[in-house]
Structure 1
Amino acid sequence: MAVTMSCGEALLRLLEAYDVDAVFGLPGYHSVELYRGFKETGIRQITPRHEQGSAYGAYGYAATTGKPGVCLLVSGPGLTNALTAIAEAYSNSFPMLVITTMNQTHELGMAGGRMHELRAQGDIICEVTAFTHTLLDARNLPQVLGRAFAVFSSQRPRPVCIQIPTDVLEGPAEFATEPWPQASVPAPEGATVREIAALLCGAHSPMVVLGGGAARASAEAIRLVERLDAPVVSSCAGKGIVPEDHPLCLGFAQPFEPVQEMIGEADVVLAVGTEFAEPDRYFTDEYKIGGKLIRVDIDPEQLMAYSRPEIALLSDARLALAAILEAMEEIGTPRVAAPGAERVTAMKEHFDGDLCEDAPKHKRVLDVIREVLPEDTLISADPAQMTYTALYHYPVRRAGCFQYPNGYAAMGFGLPFAIGAKLGAPDRPVVCFTGDGCFQMTVEEMAVAVEWKLTLPIIVWTNGGYKVVREYMRSKGLPNVGTDIRNPDFAALSQAFGGNGVRVQSLDHLRQALAAALNADGPTVLEIDGDAPWLM
């Protein structure tokens, strides 16, 4: 007699068919059936120490592999523990497949005091997913997974959640474990492309703004700004799409008033894959775009956000920029009033890029770090003060090399994201930038880094509290309340987990310790005291 697979077993086969080779999660009472037949697959199980680490790890894995990260979550607290990290992936447009369980079908909505019970679990998770599906019939699973991977491949990538009641998970599959075809990305419409090309070629003082939506269009973006001879600025997520040492690149510069004025005075602004998000301006007021705005985005809602566009093009960024370049070739050479490189050089003389009082100290450290790290290093950066300085003072030359929780801006991102990124690309250097407050939010994941013997330098800047908030409170005339914290010895804490730990004593010591950490067997915490005399 033929053996029928359970829905949980068939789900694993389908995941393999979609080229999933790793999942992040903590098995729990309601989710154990997800692991029936698991050892017969080629999928790796990564077990974090908190479900937030599951989702952040899946997010980091997606960043280095280009594939959706997958996390398996138990119902109730497993899902709610992971929610912050899922929201971060949603805000920053990364693909993540969230598989979570539920109480049995006949128990749903009955308020029977069941373990892990939520009145409406789907209402919670649907706020931070492209869609959430409750699987009430196992036969629908192939179609639902097909929809999920269509989101990942053909539109603004965001998390998708499939929640499965335990009786459905344990029940028979009764469906073929074959993947559905992959959906293609939207291509640009020809007449709109020609209209954009004509507007760009007629511009006298054009500017280009690149966001994370253009991350896979680096070659086309470089060709376009050079063809247009236009200065380019990037969002946090857009760092490195055009190398930040390129003569036309201002890098992450939107927080600075002279650059905001430069964009506002441009006669044509081309914005590709960007939200003009508040963190990209470092919480300064929205600036006015006085010229004609061209929006290119894969998300139709973003085309009409922030400021009224002259032209809006719904398209994949790479296809759009390639088509615009081709159309510009047919029109002729743009005639700008002043060379773009001269405009960039003149602008850089108008701002020093210090957003906080410790920025000069950060710059000394960042300069040494940049000397040591290879060009392809991925930086996983927590929202700590040194990171804010690094956004404009740590130039990167490749897209995706600087990962920062820009939209949701949750502390604790750095370490678990870095772990997922390193697991996804074990031969690529990955380094975590964090602060004492951020690090303590997810420090338990050090155990995972040790368990997998990950070569992972973790640079921890300490200042005895939440200094970003402390300075903000002071700027508003508020007393310093709740922002001073007691720290452990972070180097010793790393050693207690089984990792390596160093308390940095000088810039030369940092240079040597970081070089050693890049070749260490396991993670290394490099603790930097922000008040140390050698930084003065």
Structure 2
Amino acid sequence: MKTVGQALTEGLVARGVKVVFGIPGVHTIELYRGLSGSGIRHITPRHEQGAGFMADGYARVSGKPGVAFVITGPGLTNALTAMAQAKADSVPMLVISGVNRRASLGQGLGMLHELPDQAAMVRALCPSFQVTGPEVLDRCLNLAFAAMLGGRPGPVHIEVPTDVMGMEAVESSAVLRIPPALPDTELLDRAAAMLARAARPVILAGGGARAANIRALAEALDAPVVQTVNARGLMAGHPLGVAASPSLDAVRALIAASDQVLAIGTEFGPTDYDMYLRGGVPHCPGMIRVDICAQQLARHPCTLAIRADAAAACDGLLARLAPRSGDGADRAAATMAAAAQEIAGLSQDMPDQIAFLAALRDAVPGAIVVGDSTQPVYAGNLLYDHDRAGGWFNAATGYGALGFAPGAAIGAALAAPRARVFCLIGDGGLQFSPAELRVAAEERLEVTFLVWNNAGYGEIAAAMRDANTEVIGCTPTPLGLEAFAAACSLPYACIAPDPEALRDTITKPGPRLVEIRLV
């Protein structure tokens, strides 16, 4: 007899799932029965939050949904933080959990792992579907994948009652395939005409533009491309690239001087566009917006809104535009130079931190850098040109979950096994999820953990000083990183925050831990 749990695994395989992150429990044994012989690789994190972060990193690098198996109750609540980070950054993540038997739900019987209403708790964040019987399993899977892939990506939850998991499965139905959302041709004609009339166009590219041919579109328009954090790498080394935050005055001036803004796959979130809380999104009269999400299009005024897959929209515009030349590269270069001067005025440390990131990039070209909320990551988010599209991402924007980077780096390494992966995290953030480093050693993954050790929460301490507030609670004692690395079976090195020392150390393959000691 094939059970519902086994059929669920088959349904994941049919939808292209190759890796699952999870910690088994008594409530998910029947879900695990189907993994044997399925071809799906199972990775065991040390905490369910780590499972979610691993699924997140895997999804960002592979372009496919990351999948996590968690137990009823605490397993799911532990994963909620990772699901919220995925929600903020539009990352497709499927979290599959158990739930207590159907007759007990909502009864307050004191069952193991019981919640008053598990699905209602999750629905405050994202869609949740319950497999109420064998006959609805395929429907739940189709609904989940449609929610992740049919519009703005994000997390989705499926729960399977313990009394349903072991039931006999019914015959599977056809897998629903989600086609890309194609743009309206009339709207593309209007957009192309508006862009053709512009003398000083600018493109604003967000994470939703990563699969689009932004380079070709920029060249056709001779338009500088301002890249938010999740779009870095799209224009690596290109003269039209502006790898600087639109929160900076220099970048805002470029946008304000433009006579046509084309925004693609960007939500205009404050952590990208107004991190200093100085007055919201830069004024963009006559803006053209392309986004997969109708709600996002409705949140900011524009002259022309195109709801479509970014890649399809870019291809459609390219077919309608005649290439031209102008001063786009000069405008981009001037903006980057002005942004660098602005950064130097903001902090005496940031230019050195950005130079450190550049040394990392140049020493190991094409690497993936996964960041936590730590000082060099904040600096890089303001001004840093990475050399791999989708190869620079972190939790220092949007939801901002500390401890994100170790799990996400592990997920990234599994999605791109031939790439070098660097996890850049502070000594404080590392203590949120230290045990996940053992997974990298266990799975022999090419992840180098770079621990920026300033003996505390340096970024928060600086913010408290800037606010004329006594610095309290910002000096947790760091881990003894050499002993910790040994406990995780990781080679260890300690260096100063110097680009030359970094180059000599990181060319060695991972997994390993490198402490960058500032104090």
Residue 299 of structure 2, aligned match among 302, 305, 313: 305
SS at match of 1:27: coil
Q: Partner residue of 2:514?
A: 526
Q: Partner residue of 2:226?
A: 233
TM-score of the superposed pair, with normalisation by structure 2: 0.95
Q: Partner residue of 2:109?
A: 112
Q: Does 1:386 align with 2:382?
A: no
Measure how far apart 1:77 and its partner are: 0.3
Q: Partner residue of 1:251?
A: 243
Q: 2: distance between equivalents of 1:149 and 1:290? A: 35
Measure how far apart 1:393 and its partner are: 4.2
Measure how far apart 1:365 and its partner are: 2.2
Q: Partner residue of 1:280?
A: 272
Q: 1: distance between equivalents of 2:413 and 2:470? A: 41
Q: How does 1:408-447 map to 2 (within 5 A)?
A: 408-447=399-438
- Between 1:488-497 and 1:203-212, the stretch displaced more is 488-497
Q: How does 1:62-211 map to 2 (within 5 A)?
A: 62-129=59-126, 131-176=127-172, 179-211=174-206
Measure how far apart 1:149 and its partner are: 2.0
Residue 12 of structure 1, aligned match among 6, 9, 14: 9
Q: Partner residue of 1:478?
A: 469
Shift in CA distance, 515/398, structure 1 to aligned 2, threshold 3 Å: closer
Deviations 1:132-191 (A, max 9, x none): 111212211111111222233332211111111100112221232x54130211111111
Q: Partner residue of 2:283?
A: 289
SS at match of 1:258: helix
SS at match of 2:30: helix
Q: 1: distance between equivalents of 2:518 and 2:348? A: 11
Asked if 2 retains the 8 angstrom alpha-carbon contact of 1:269 and 1:293, the reply is yes
Q: How does 1:295-444 map to 2 (within 5 A)?
A: 295-306=289-300, 308-329=301-322, 339-351=327-339, 352=341, 353-354=343-344, 355-375=346-366, 377-405=367-395, 406-444=397-435
Q: 2: distance between equivalents of 1:302 and 1:382? A: 26
Count residues with an aligned counterpart.
Answer: 512
Shift in CA distance, 347/36, structure 1 to aligned 2, threshold 3 Å: closer
Shift in CA distance, 179/484, structure 1 to aligned 2, threshold 3 Å: farther
Deviations 1:19-51 (A, max 9, x none): 222211111121111112432321121111100
Q: 2: distance between equivalents of 1:369 and 1:241? A: 18
Identity of aligned residues (%): 35
Asked if 2 retains the 8 angstrom alpha-carbon contact of 1:491 and 1:526, the reply is no
Measure how far apart 1:108 and its partner are: 0.2
Paired amino acid for 2:375:
Q
Asked if 1 retains the 8 angstrom alpha-carbon contact of 2:202 and 2:262, the reply is yes
Asked if 2 retains the 8 angstrom alpha-carbon contact of 1:265 and 1:290, the reply is no
Paired amino acid for 2:162:
T
Deviations 1:304-348 (A, max 9, x none): 223x1000000001111111122223xxx668xx61111122223
Paired amino acid for 1:6:
T
Where does the alignment leave 5 or more consecutive residues of structure 1 unmatched?
A: 532-536
SS at match of 1:38: coil
Paired amino acid for 1:127:
A
Q: 1: distance between equivalents of 2:114 and 2:330? A: 62
SS at match of 1:441: coil
Deviations 1:73-105 (A, max 9, x none): 101000000111111111111111111111110
SS at match of 1:415: helix
Residue 267 of structure 1, aligned match among 248, 252, 259: 259
SS at match of 1:431: strand
Shift in CA distance, 364/208, structure 1 to aligned 2, threshold 3 Å: closer
Q: 1: distance between equivalents of 2:239 and 2:477? A: 45
RMSD: 1.7
SS at match of 1:487: coil
Q: 2: distance between equivalents of 1:222 and 1:116? A: 50
Measure how far apart 1:399 and its partner are: 1.8
Q: 1: distance between equivalents of 2:21 and 2:443? A: 13
Measure how far apart 1:465 and its partner are: 1.3
Q: 2: distance between equivalents of 1:192 and 1:161? A: 35
Q: 1: distance between equivalents of 2:355 and 2:327? A: 32
Q: 2: distance between equivalents of 1:252 and 1:88? A: 22
- Between 1:196-205 and 1:284-293, the stretch displaced more is 284-293
Shift in CA distance, 45/287, structure 1 to aligned 2, threshold 3 Å: closer
TM-score of the superposed pair, with normalisation by structure 1: 0.92
Asked if 2 retains the 8 angstrom alpha-carbon contact of 1:299 and 1:314, the reply is yes
Asked if 1 retains the 8 angstrom alpha-carbon contact of 2:291 and 2:306, the reply is yes
Paired amino acid for 2:63:
G
Measure how far apart 1:357 and its partner are: 4.2
Measure how far apart 1:508 and its partner are: 3.3
Paired amino acid for 2:440:
A
Q: Partner residue of 1:534?
A: none
SS at match of 2:516: strand
